[in-house]
A and B are shown apart, each in its own frame.
Chain A
Amino acid sequence: MFPLVSHMEWSIATDLAIAVVLGFGFGYCLERAGFGSARKLTAVFYLFDMAVVKVMLTAIVTAMTGIAVLSALGAVDVSQFYIEPTALPAQVVGGLLFGAGFIVGGYCPGTSIAAIATGRTDGLAFALGMLAGVWTFAELTPGLETWIRSVSQGELLLPDATGIGMIWWAIGFMLLLLAASRGMAWLETRFAGLKPRFS
């Protein structure tokens, strides 16, 4: 039954309309969470506001549980999903660079769009930097893509790698979220003094 794309065809116009609708929900959620603000986003790295982890972990657990349950009921065929191949060295180096860009720049690609929408000029500067970065990557270092493919392990999902079903992972992540929510509440109290005060 799901994903719909595996047994239905729709026009390019419909496809792009679907993108706008889903994007609307995406952007609405990001702004509602406060992620159009670089100070709200980077607060997670000074531990006085853990909203970034709360939102991300809850979103992951929600989608994971939905997929796991629908898959167990036979309503969704996970093998029809596009899975980005794992390439551990590329994802470690890429992740470290991305994290550095996040704490220095204050945004990630999606949240910079929410920042631009609400008038944050630093969000626009971040997005222009992103644009310059992807352009430079294509012009100066296109060979890195060959390297990424050469260090790839192919499609690698935890349920396949461990033999533990997705539903158990979903339950595990729910427990992790419960424990983390208590830990984060403690951190926010402990580091409340780091919250900047504007005179």
Chain B
Amino acid sequence: MSQSLAGTAPMPLRRAHALPYWNPYLVGALLGLVLLATYLVTGRGLGATGAFSSVAAWLASLAVSVDHVTANAVHARYWNDGAPLASWTVFLLGGALLGALISGWQGRRLRLMVERGPRISGSTRLLLAFCGGFVAAYGAKLAKGCTSGQALTGGAILNVGSLVFMMSVFAAAYGLAWFVRKEWI
């Protein structure tokens, strides 16, 4: 059954046997408690972008050389004395992968598919997802964080830069929503 792969008929948002998502206010409160626990234990909040930088440093050490990584100001900060993958953020995302897998399995939402609107092909959607990821990565590197590292983590502690970041994110996304509507609605 590979009917849900790229280029085939789109799936409804929830098939009959997928269980409904939880109430967003309830999940929000739980997510807030996870964030609070992270602060209380580690003195830092959550963050997802750091793990990508760690993996990039690791890949660069394999593809180019260790000297290249340690000589690069950005890569070097994620080198972690030769163990870039043994970093806190990589394990955080490893845990997140596991948590999402369990949640999706419980909710009967595990499904090999491309998320897209009814008016776009699977392959175009995959290309746009890659491009969006590339641009978002640049934004996150400039802003020193993403939705978790800046918006949630910094927002909870009322960090001015984080609140400004969050407003900029929503401003750009709402501003562009009309132009990319065929990707989603």
Contacts and interface: CB of A to CB of B under 8 A. Distances in A.
B100 A28 contact: yes
Given A18-B41, A22-B46, A46-B177, A96 B147 contact: no
B96 A27 contact: yes
Q: Which of B43, B157, B185 has the most CB of A within 10 A?
A: B157
Contact of A97 (B34, B116, B129, B138): B138
A55 interface: yes
Given A107-B133, A114-B96, A159-B158, A199 B118 contact: yes
Given A98-B136, A109-B52, A63 B36 contact: yes
Interface string B71-101: 0111100000000001011011111111111
Given A19-B88, A105-B133, A127-B133, A82 B168 contact: no
A96 B159 contact: no
B128 to A, nearest CB: 5
Nearest to B41: A4
B34 A161 contact: no
Q: Dominant SS at the B interface?
A: helix
Interface string A168-187: 01000000000001000000
B43 to A, nearest CB: 4
A32 B173 contact: no
Contacts of A55: 24-25, 27-28, 31
Contacts of B157: 64, 67, 78, 81, 83, 157
B40 A121 contact: no
Contacts of A81: 39, 43-44, 157
A94 B165 contact: yes
B56 A59 contact: no
Nearest to A125: B129
Contacts of A198: 10-13, 118
A55 B134 CA distance: 25
Contacts of A102: 132, 136, 147, 169, 172-173
Contact of B147 (A25, A104, A108, A166): A108
Q: Which of B12, B96, B107, B114 has the most CB of A within 10 A?
A: B96
Q: Dominant SS at the A interface?
A: helix
A34 B42 CA distance: 27
Interface in B163-185: 163-177, 180-181, 183-185
Contacts of A19: 88-89, 91-92, 94-95
Interface of A: 2-6, 12, 15-34, 36-40, 42-43, 45-46, 50-51, 54-64, 66-67, 70, 76, 78, 80-88, 90-123, 125-139, 142, 144-145, 148, 153, 156-159, 161, 166, 169, 181, 194-199
Interface of B: 5-6, 10-13, 21-22, 24-25, 27-44, 46, 48-49, 51-53, 55-57, 59-60, 72-75, 86, 88-89, 91-104, 107, 109-118, 125-177, 180-181, 183-185
24 contacts: A22-B95, A27-B98, A29-B30, A39-B13, A42-B183, A43-B184, A54-B25, A59-B31, A59-B35, A62-B33, A93-B139, A94-B142, A95-B139, A103-B176, A104-B180, A106-B125, A106-B129, A110-B148, A113-B97, A122-B125, A129-B129, A131-B59, A133-B133, A138-B53
- 3 nearest CB pairs, A to B: A105-B132, A23-B95, A129-B133
